Structure 1
Amino acid sequence: MSESETNSTPEGVVVEPSENSYTDIVQFIDHAGEIVKETDNEKKSFLSTISKREDFLTKGFDYSVISILGPQSSGKSTLLNLLFNTRFAIMEARTGRKQTTQGVWMGIGGESTGPETFLILDVEGTDGRERGEDEKAFERKTSLFSLALSSVLIINMWSHDVGRYNAANLSLLKTVFELNLQLFQKKRNHKILIFFIIRDQDNVTPLSELRRVLLEDIEKIWKELSKPSEFANSRETDYFDFDFTALPHKNYSPDQFKTQVDILRQRFLDPSLNDFIPKKKYRNEDVPADGLYQYSFNVWETIKSNRDLDLPSQKEMLALYRCDEFLESSFNQFTSEIKSTRESIEKGRLVNNFGDSSKKILDDAIKRYDEPSSRYHPETVAKKRQVLNDRILTDLKYLFDKQIEKLYEKTIEFYNSLVQEAVKPVNGGKSSSSSLKRSGATNQNGGNIVIIPQFNIWAEGTKKKSIEYFEQTAKQSIVPGSDWTFVEELNVLDEKMTKEISQLRENQLEKLSSLMKENTFQKLNPILLKITDQASDNMWQKIRAAYNDEAATNEKEYQSRLTNDFAIGESECEEYLNKFKEGVLENLKSKISDRAEFIPMKMRKRFEEHFNMDDKKLPRKWKKQDDIATIFQEARLNAEKLIDLFSYLRIDEQDSKTSYFSLLPNGEHEENTNTNEIEQDKVIIAYKQCMTMCENFRHDTKNDYMQALSEQARLTSAGGIPGYVLVLLCVLGLNEFIAIITNPLLLLLVILLGGFGFVLFKLGLTGPFIDYSSQVLVHIINKIKDIVLHVENISHHAVSNNNSNSTNGNKEKRE
């Protein structure tokens, strides 16, 4: 970890701490594994240093021991300095990743004057190149020492090492757990908190997932421990609590790193927090502060003298070393060989025969390991062989899971393709009579409704094909000899497809209902249009006959398709038929309602046919003896019948004589509110709307009535001129007559006017012409009056101006 502090010289070389620079930080165990003794003033022992700290020695049991383990140069010392205000030596990255902490260093946290007191152990990092072959034994001893003393044991590790057996120090942890049970657990009366701090977490893998992996590894380690008989049935949680946190990269995300460290620092310092870390239950209540040095001394001597902690036999050690090399070499080769397969799967492509090809790669990897390792310690070789096998299978299981995940998606796509093929419109969307019969497709508003024939049989076959496709590929993806299964995914797929088919079935049933309704009205619509245009008194009788004929035909076909295509039982079929009938009736009501919008036009047309036309369908010429009022009343009532005719749905036989917009003896209308006769869901035009149409119609026809009366009056007066008036007109107008016939211009004008008047008379338009001429004449007279008044106003204004100018001139002369 490339972290730098003020602990480096200007050239970047790390120096060992001294009394002058770090008064509270001393080396307890040196690089050789010996407890440091004080030599003059150059090197202070932990005993002499702690003896000067009265504030610590008087704490009694009120203190916590916190130690940290982790790889070399992973930032352990830096983290301790930030958390506890200590000054452990840290690495300067610019001069190389060299070991800074050697052995075990101890120090009292800088917050010792606060509510919490900490004794901090900074332990030499693991995997250091400086120690060489002695590394493992010393690591075990220092790790066990830390575990024996600690209330909280911090495991500092890289996020990318999670899941790696050695890199994550899991092998070391296993040995420490085992020896801890043998040496110290019998005397211990408190749990230890093992606190994992995961460094450089990039948020790609969430902390919860890292936590899960580590807990699984710890549980596995515990099960594999060689335990004393009294601990045979124990669990790791009987002796340890586990906690986890993650920190971002210190250099790449300095602000976030500082924020997270500050939060973590509070968890060590504030006992009021729910996630406070060094709880009292983790403290060693048997060792007071003033006896800590002697206790630490005894623990280290016990660890040093115990042979179980020393290196195994040379043969086993050599086997361990070499087998690790063979294992890593074989695993690296496996990683290279599986790379193309991994890339294909991670890009979302299915790999054919994944199981067999992976098995071959696995066998090759084991073979590569077996050949060179066969000369070494058999038990060690077998253990490492199993480790290699497990590591490879773990990697392959990840790819298998990805393969099954993609296979699930591909199976759904395969199923959807079968559905799309089944519901694809026939003839590219152009339906014909033959294709309609074959597939049930019909063109509606430029689209198609496609009903899958024999749906139940098709659905069963489609599901079977999809499941077989999934099972076949999934079986080929299992590595022979593994215990992998895809039962859970298969069950999820089965449930998914059952749900999809159920939804498709409902959709198909809705489409079938719509199709049959449309087929019903395809033939019924032209008939309805013709019947409603005629609007005869027996309109509903005709509609009923046509409706019953078409509905019965399509209802029978609908029932047949429900039974045969969807295997619907009798009771359920009856429900669908009832809904179908209700839907057809509702559509019929809607069609009649649409036609009812033209009632005002139909009423006007019918009224004019009866009032303005005679029996020969010619324009009526009113005579003196015609009873206009009676004819008008009959024509109006005959037209108003249309409102009642369209206002109520009379498709049932018992509704044939039902009247909704009832006519009263006085010629007015009222709403029929008899609940025994009227059903509100059959009302097409509401009563208020009926009244509005009726009132508007009556208002519009008043002019026809008044015009008829006016025409009758003019015709009557025109035929009643006395004969003597005609004789006087001839005698007195003789001179004017002679003057006209002798003047060609006047004669031509009289002939034109006479011909025009004769045409108006024959067409019965004399009355309207006179009325129009009168209106024009009145309009002209009004215009002339306006012009005259305007001229008078201008003249009056001019006179006033002249008088004013004259007065002003006289005044000027007098002045």
Structure 2
Amino acid sequence: MSNSSNFIQIVNYDGDFVGDVSTFIKEASLQKTGLDYSVVTVLGCQSSGKSTLLNRLFKTSFQVMDASAGRGQTTKGLWMALNKGVDDRNIVVVDVEGTDSKERGEDRQTFEHRASLFSLAVADCVIVNMWYHDIGRYTASNYGLLQTVLEVNLELFGHDHKDKAKTLLLFIIRDHAEAQTPLAALEKMILKDVHEIWDEKVRKPEGLETLPAERFFEFKIVGLPSLFVVPEKFNEASTELQNRFSKGKAKASDKFLKDTYSREVPADGFPIYCRQVWETIVSAKQLDIPTQKEMVGTFRCEEIKVQVVAGLQAEIAKMNALVEKGEDPNLPAKVKAVLQEGLEEYSEPASRYSKDIFEKKRSELLQAMKAALGRPVGLHIGHLRERLAREADRRLAAAVSTKGDKSSSDSGASSSREEKWAGFSDTVNQWKSDALKRFDDELEAFDTDLPEVGKVSFEGTEAKAAFGVSLSASVERIRGEEVQRLRAAVRESVSRELEKVDALLENANLQGDKFWNEVSEICATSYRSCGKTFNSSAGGLGLQMGSEEGGVEEGGEKLLQVLGGGGDAEASAEDSEAALLQVAALEIEGLLRARLERVAQSLPQRVVEKFKVLFEADEDDTPRQWIAMSPSEIQKAFVKARDAALPLIDTFEKLRVDTRTFESCPAPVEVKRRFSKPVFSEGRKEAVKEKATSMMKRECSRAQEIQAAGGAPAKLPLWAYFAFLILGWNEIVMVLSNPATFFFLGILAVVGIVAFYTGNKKMMLDLGRQALGMSTSFLLPVLQSVHSAVAPQVRA
């Protein structure tokens, strides 16, 4: 393949397409001209001056024959050059190997047919180069070639003749002398021959038999004087002819070319078009120009699309690097800029092709750009989702959290806590709606309005779903915290009410049936109070009974199922109230059981305390005089007190609360089962009974010892009394001189003597304390006054 800055060979002598037309078009700066170019080819006999004519008209540099060296084939194959002679028009000039070549011999017709077919497929104007003296001859005047041209054109464009732009057949008659034969006469003769060939020799497809040649062609005939005989006139005529190829140097009626390429293939697609047309011709396939154009359009639009996407990768890589570090607030603007830039870079060259192909590939380009931008946008949306989820979580916590709030039962406090619980579902629904709207608003920042395309959006369904999951998780977490606070509030309310039970437990002589009747009433009051106080709170929080099989776990951990706000499974008011009552019942049971378990730890002492109250005093609550009682009487008192005290163990063995109060619970059987569980085991019960009995026996033994001793102290010798009197004389005087001291010692002496003889030390100590209190309050001031008045007289 020969190649220079002026021209290139596109088809070699062997018929192979070898030209790098794409590089040629780029170097000629035609790639961005769109349809603003034309193609001119030339057909004619070998050595008829075709290349010379093209060089003169378009200032090309095609190789020409050296006549001094003899006549022979000069142009081999097809050559292409860019016009430099017509300065206001882009013209691609194709020089075609001459026909009737001796060198090709009998095989020439195949190449001639292919060259003609190619010329008509690509050219706006086909120059038919004829010599004046050959007109009227069939072979010499190239009428055989003309027939081929007409048939090939019909083959190419017959099926779309209604919409096809006509090809200009420009007959240039060389060595014409107007004085010899007027051009008008020659024009008439040539057109007559063309019509005869069209009507009689050209084979027409069915349905096109009556169509005239003018339906497919424009015919123009131009004469050129002899280059060698009258070179001045040749130059003058060729300049005039050259001007008719110009846009602005000739009248509209004289112009040879339209303003745009008639084949409607943009310049950047022309190289592909040429190659595909030639390869289709060589493969002997049916050459369908519309199909070729569509193939070129598809190829070029695809090529442009790929180039655009590749050109955007560097900018997208920068976006990726930045957004991987965190949320980029400028990313939406960058994404819009990339989409707009990519569409502009594609539309400018691709819009010159078929609208359907252009729009199809444009749609593919948008999808490709969105796919390329998907990673940075996805990362950004991920950061956005996390940020909005954190912010939403904080806002929800601030709106509904009751941490630190006081109960409405506290003195002087508002009911803000219960109000927040009651309005929890409404608050959550509004909060979730606001959060999702904010997410949508942030996502819409990526929406881009593109000319002729409309709005381009990025799919955020999965991200929004994940965001919704985050919101639900926040709701469930905060709701769970509030449920625990609600349960704590219920527990606090129950605990306050059960403080009344503590007062009942302080009675050492409590009676089992009476005790449990009062406890049952306290529990019922607490149960009803919880239902009234926290009913709205439970409804707002959406409480519902758990669905776990096997009942409620110990401690109620599986009791409640907290449902998401706004969901289909949202608890009804009745469900929430039922769940609340169940919680209240179980809290009552748990707190009451805890109290009895504490009582059970000191139950032997409680039993003995009750025993001593009954054993050490008679029915009139008078202290027993053990010394005055017989052993059988002491034994009888012991048995009676023991039998009255031991049932206290049965009183605290289990919770004997009237569970009919809890019939309104959703699981009354479970509540009854929980209340019926023993506080301590049968083995522990026996151990308590055994220990208490042992302690009671020791108390009885002490009473028996006092009774056996007869209550009399051991007799002292007489000298001991004299010794006490002498040695303690000073102390006796001091006591007798101080009435207060004398009075206190007297009371202690009386209490001690009575306690010793009766054996009931505890009762006498209580009486002593009371006597001392009374003496201190009333008698002591009187005695001090008397002492102050009498003492001076005694000393005097």
Higher relative contact order (CA 8 A, sep 6+): 2
- State which structure, 1 or 2, has the greater radius of gyration over its C-alpha atoms: 2
Normalising by structure 1, what TM-score?
0.41
